[in-house]
C-alpha cells in the first residue's frame, strides 16, 4: 500500500494549508479508500483519524445512498474533473459516527501523482442553512394560506353587506320585519369583519421581542373572551370550566384571543346543543396544557392537519365561521414559545389544546 504521507512530505506548506482550511478535506484513491483527512473533516463527522484512514468513503454516507454513490465514484475516476456537488437543489446528506445525518455541500477535485490519480472532496456543513431554508418555506406556505383565508373571508363579508344594502336600497316593498332582518345581517357581517381586522392588528402590531410575559389569570381571561361572544351564541351552549387553572406565563391579550377563537369554534362545531368542557393540566416537559373539549362530530386526521393552516381546503360547507381564527391561534401560541394540538376521533368530539411554558 502506498504511504500517502511520503507523497506530501516535501510539501509541508501544502499540509499546513489543508489543515488550516475551514472546509473539510478528504483524499481518496480510485477504490474509494480514505487516505488523508484534515482536522476539520474529523470534527465534522466526529471520528478519530485512525478510524477513517483506510476505510471506504461510504462510511460517511447514509446506507440508502451507498449504491448510488458507488456508481458515481467508479465513473468519476474514468474521467476525473473539478465539479461541485450538493449545491442549489442537489444538496447531499452525510452520516456522522453516531448515525446523525447532516446536509453537505461538496466540491470534487483530483490530483495526479507519479503513483496514481487521487480524488479530493472539499466539504462544507450546511445543515443549519438547510433547516432555516426549510422553515422559511414552511412559513411562506402558511402565510400564503393565511393571506388567502383573510382575503376570502373579508370578500365574503363585504359581499354580504353590499348585497343586503342593495336590496334595502332598491326594494321599497319590504316589510319592517324584513328590513330589520337584513339590517341585522349587515351589522353581523360588519362585526365579523371588525373581528378579523382586530385579530390581524393584535397579532401584527406586537413582535415577540416586545411582549412582556406575566403570570396569567386564566379564569379572568376566559371570562373576558366569553364577554365578547354574542348572547345568542353563548346561551346556546353549555360551557363548564374549573375555578382554578394551572399557572403559566404569557401575554394576556393574545391568550384571550386564543380562548375567544377556541370557544367560538366549539360552539359552532359542537353537538346540538353544544357542550364544552375547559380545563388544564401539567405535562411532563415542563409545559401546561390548556384544552377545550366539544361534543361535535369529530375530525379526520386530514382535517386536523389542515384546520390550523388552511381550513378553506376542507371544502365548502365545512367551515361555518370565517376560518381565520385557528390560523391566528397557531401563530399566537408559537410566538409565546408554545404549540397547538387537536385530538379527535370521528363521531366522538374533539379536544383543541395549546401548550405554554410553566
Tell me what pLDDT residue 209 has: 56
Instruction: Say which residue, 196 or 262, is predicted with more confidence.
Output: 262
Tell me what pLDDT residue 34 has: 93
User: 10 Å Cβ neighbour count for 11?
Assistant: 11
User: Has residue 214 got a pLDDT over 50?
Assistant: yes
Tell me what pLDDT residue 195 has: 73
Same domain, 88 and 161: no
Q: What is the CATH number of the domain that holds 332?
A: 3.30.565.10
pTM of the model: 0.54
Instruction: Say which residue, 203 or 349, is predicted with more confidence.
Output: 349
Q: What is the mean pLDDT of residues 138-144?
A: 72
Q: What is the CATH number of the domain that holds 27?
A: 3.30.450.20
Tell me what pLDDT residue 44 has: 93
Same domain, 184 and 314: yes
Instruction: Say which residue, 121 or 85, is predicted with more confidence.
Output: 121
Same domain, 197 and 305: yes
User: Has residue 339 got a pLDDT over 90?
Assistant: yes
User: Has residue 158 got a pLDDT over 70?
Assistant: yes
User: Has residue 48 got a pLDDT over 90?
Assistant: yes
Could you tell me if residue 349 is left (phi over 0), alpha (psi between -120 and 50 degrees) or otherwise beta?
left
Same domain, 151 and 102: no
Same domain, 196 and 322: yes
Same domain, 172 and 255: yes
Same domain, 286 and 332: yes
> 29-43, 47-61, 83-97, 204-218: lowest mean pLDDT where?
83-97
Tell me what pLDDT residue 55 has: 93
User: Has residue 300 got a pLDDT over 60?
Assistant: yes
Q: How many domains, the chain?
A: 2
Instruction: Say which residue, 353 or 313, is predicted with more confidence.
Output: 353
Q: What is the mean pLDDT of residues 331-338?
A: 88
d(CA 68, CA 245): 56
Confidence tier at 318 by pLDDT (50, 70, 90): very low
Same domain, 72 and 199: no
Tell me what pLDDT residue 16 has: 78
HEC readout, the chain? CCCHHHHHCCCHHHHHHHHHCCCEEEEECCCCEEEEECHHHHHHHCCCHHHHCCCEHHHHCCHHHHHHHHHHHHHHCCCCCCEEECCCCCCEEEECCCCCEEEEEEEEEEEECCCCEEEEEEEEECHHHHHHHHHHHHHHHHHHHHHHHHHHHHHHHHHHHHHHHHHHHHCCCCCHHHHHHHHHHHHHHHHHHHHHHHHHHHHHCCCHHHCCCEECCHHHHHHHHHHCCCHHHHHCCEEECCCCCCCCEECHHHHHHHHHHHHHHHHHHCCCCCEEEEEEEECCCCEEEEEEECCCCCCCHHHHHHHCCCHHHHCCCCCCCCCCHHHHHHHHHHHCCCEEEEEECCCCCEEEEEEEEC
Domain boundary among 78, 104, 125: 125
d(CA 352, CA 333): 13
Q: pLDDT tens for residues 236-291?
A: 899 999 999 999 999 888 898 899 889 988 998 888 899 999 999 999 888 999 99
Q: How many residues does the chain have?
A: 358
Domain containing 161 equals 131-357
**Chain-wide mean pLDDT for the chain?**
83
Crossing angle of the two packed helices 252-269 and 176-204, in degrees rounded to 10: 140
User: Has residue 13 got a pLDDT over 70?
Assistant: no
Q: What is the mean pLDDT of residues 52-75?
A: 87
Tell me what pLDDT residue 103 has: 93
Same domain, 85 and 172: no
d(CA 159, CA 4): 78
Amino acid at each position: 500500500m502506498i504511504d500517502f504521507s511520503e507523497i506530501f512530505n516535501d510539501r509541508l506548506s501544502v499540509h499546513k494549508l489543508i489543515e488550516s482550511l475551514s472546509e473539510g478535506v478528504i483524499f481518496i484513491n480510485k477504490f474509494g479508500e480514505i487516505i488523508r483527512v484534515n482536522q476539520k473533516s474529523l470534527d465534522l463527522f466526529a471520528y478519530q483519524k485512525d478510524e477513517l484512514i483506510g476505510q471506504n468513503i461510504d462510511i460517511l454516507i447514509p446506507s440508502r445512498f451507498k449504491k448510488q454513490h458507488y456508481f458515481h465514484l467508479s465513473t468519476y475516476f474514468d474521467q476525473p474533473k473539478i465539479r461541485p456537488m450538493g449545491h442549489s437543489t442537489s444538496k447531499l446528506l452525510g452520516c456522522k459516527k453516531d448515525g446523525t445525518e447532516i446536509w453537505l455541500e461538496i466540491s470534487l477535485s483530483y490530483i495526479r501523482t507519479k503513483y496514481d490519480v487521487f480524488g479530493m472532496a472539499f466539504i462544507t456543513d450546511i445543515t443549519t442553512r438547510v433547516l432555516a431554508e426549510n422553515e422559511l418555506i414552511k412559513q411562506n406556505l402558511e402565510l400564503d394560506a393565511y393571506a388567502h383565508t383573510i382575503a376570502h373571508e373579508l370578500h365574503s363579508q363585504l359581499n354580504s353587506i353590499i348585497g343586503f344594502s342593495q336590496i334595502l336600497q332598491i326594494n321599497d316593498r319590504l316589510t319592517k320585519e324584513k328590513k330589520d332582518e337584513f339590517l341585522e345581517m349587515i351589522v353581523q357581517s360588519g362585526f365579523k369583519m371588525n373581528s378579523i381586522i382586530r385579530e390581524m392588528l393584535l397579532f401584527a402590531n406586537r413582535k415577540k421581542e416586545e411582549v412582556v410575559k406575566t403570570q396569567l389569570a386564566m379564569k379572568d381571561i376566559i371570562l373576558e373572551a366569553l364577554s365578547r361572544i354574542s348572547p345568542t351564541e353563548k346561551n346556546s351552549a353549555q360551557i363548564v370550566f374549573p375555578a382554578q387553572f394551572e399557572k403559566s406565563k404569557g401575554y394576556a391579550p393574545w391568550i384571550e384571543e386564543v380562548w375567544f377563537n377556541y370557544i367560538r369554534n366549539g360552539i359552532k362545531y359542537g353537538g346540538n346543543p353544544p357542550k364544552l368542557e375547559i380545563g388544564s393540566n401539567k405535562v411532563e416537559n415542563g409545559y401546561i396544557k390548556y384544552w377545550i373539549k366539544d361534543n361535535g362530530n369529530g375530525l379526520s386526521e386530514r382535517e386536523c392537519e389542515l384546520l390550523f393552516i388552511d381550513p378553506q381546503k376542507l371544502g365548502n360547507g365545512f367551515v361555518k365561521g370565517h376560518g381565520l381564527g385557528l390560523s391566528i391561534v397557531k401563530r399566537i401560541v408559537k410566538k409565546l414559545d408554545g404549540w397547538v394540538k387537536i385530538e379527535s376521533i370521528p363521531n366522538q368530539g374533539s379536544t383543541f389544546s395549546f401548550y405554554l411554558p410553566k
